[in-house]
Structure 1
């Protein structure tokens, strides 16, 4: 999975067109899913919890990228070739489809986003529910020995979160400002005034801690979210991370600084 995530990040940052990235991403995802399926068929799982962990946290990573890149491929192929207004209307229809999906699956999305686990034995075990409530266009990984009732649905949720960001960027390129309502934020409300290196420290700390989307979100998506939130462009964050690693102790200077600042402030308030 580490190699897959690294290859995906490299692919996303390549200079290829969106359509070519999608084609390559689908191939990479299929290859990884095939390896996982062979491994499961050969080794199976040590206990029920490891099975749940696999179908909740491991398989959905490449599966979600498979769905995500398939969505992009379909969008790139079907997007009108002429007329910005036609393109915007097409993308707005995609937005409506996404909203409808999240509305129809609101209970499950809420369950996952709140970090609940009490239904995992039904959702992410092959011995749980077998009704397969979600039937995506990608059928060939929906085998009983390699699927549960909800791992595909969870993959679709993660894929559409990424697809939302893709549509935002597409709308802004076609017609700047046209995605304003969709973004639902006021531009330039919050601006990062520290160094970009400090922000990269925070991003990597959150990424490695795994507290965003239950640890399934990729690094690029977290970076994009911070860029949106703080109205900043974070270039070459891989290189910046390498520079942070090459520091002398403490390497995480900014994280140490803000932790010390918070501790000092709380101590000050305790004595006032």
Structure 2
């Protein structure tokens, strides 16, 4: 049941994000879709609960935060679209710069938790993602709709906010770039970017899709656009129309995953060479 709910949500979100609607229209539709999905999940939990403590932790760490993070993200986008000054490039840029400062402050205040999650730690999960764990809710967003004991833990909303703000950063960068080309580069990295992708973009698309299909990032809960945005930032590269590139990869003759095959062959050859030493 949960798998069907999440599969439908992921498909609808992906379709919405890549629709031709305005950002405000996407935000309003995204909020409705997220709320609808959260309501379905809540009803399922109320009716069935969890088989064991680990399945409860998995739900509040890896499942609920996906629609909840989109709920928060689209609420942020809607707020930005409504509040963004209508006239003056400098006014718009200043507004978006303030939004970035708020994001930086949030990550600074929650640095320990963000580090715990991004390093893949699990030793505090029984406190963070169980309804029997900590009850002093450390985070209190402007979205109270789902914050009550039977459907919340102390940190699932905080984790949702972290994921939402990563998406919101990408949204603001794109907004800045459209308003004043080049201005978004001021906010690209907290540290100098030392890594540059020097292979072909097609090879990178092939690799990213393999991570996505195998569910290797965020336990398979990350959407394609967010995943590609992360690689763009990490390797200082712009990947245009990755859907089209994926279609071109699919249309190849076997082996269609040429890059992945070549990586495996190179790795195997190197290990065989090491064995002979």
Fold equivalence (TM over 0.5): yes
CA distance in 2 between partners of 1:250 and 1:234 (Å): 24
Give the match's secondary structure for 2:183.
coil
Pair 1:86–1:188, CA change in 2 (3 A)? farther
- Listed as ranges, the matches of 1:96-245 within 5 Å are 96-184=101-189, 190=196, 192-194=198-200, 196=202, 198-228=203-233, 229-237=235-243, 240-241=245-246, 244-245=249-250
Deviation at 1:262, TM superposition (A): 2.5
CA distance in 2 between partners of 1:13 and 1:263 (Å): 39
The answer to whether the aligner puts 1:94 opposite 2:93 as a matched pair is no
Give the match's secondary structure for 1:179.
helix
Which sections of structure 1, spanning at least 5 residues, go unmatched? none
Any conservation in 1 of the 2:232–2:239 contact (CA below 8 Å)? Answer: yes
CA distance in 1 between partners of 2:194 and 2:122 (Å): 38
Deviation at 1:218, TM superposition (A): 1.1
Deviation at 1:191, TM superposition (A): 5.0
CA distance in 1 between partners of 2:91 and 2:154 (Å): 38
With 135-144 and 204-213 compared, the bigger mean Cα shift is at 204-213
CA distance in 2 between partners of 1:99 and 1:190 (Å): 24
CA RMSD in angstroms, aligned pairs only = 2.2
* Per-residue deviation, residues 206-247 of structure 1 (Å, max 9, x unmatched): 11333333433211111223344352333152x544554565
CA distance in 1 between partners of 2:182 and 2:201 (Å): 27
Query: What is the aligned residue count?
Result: 270
Deviation at 1:95, TM superposition (A): 0.6
CA distance in 1 between partners of 2:194 and 2:45 (Å): 48
TM-score (normalised: structure 1): 0.91
Pair 1:265–1:69, CA change in 2 (3 A)? same
Which residue number in structure 1 is paired with residue 38 of structure 2? 33
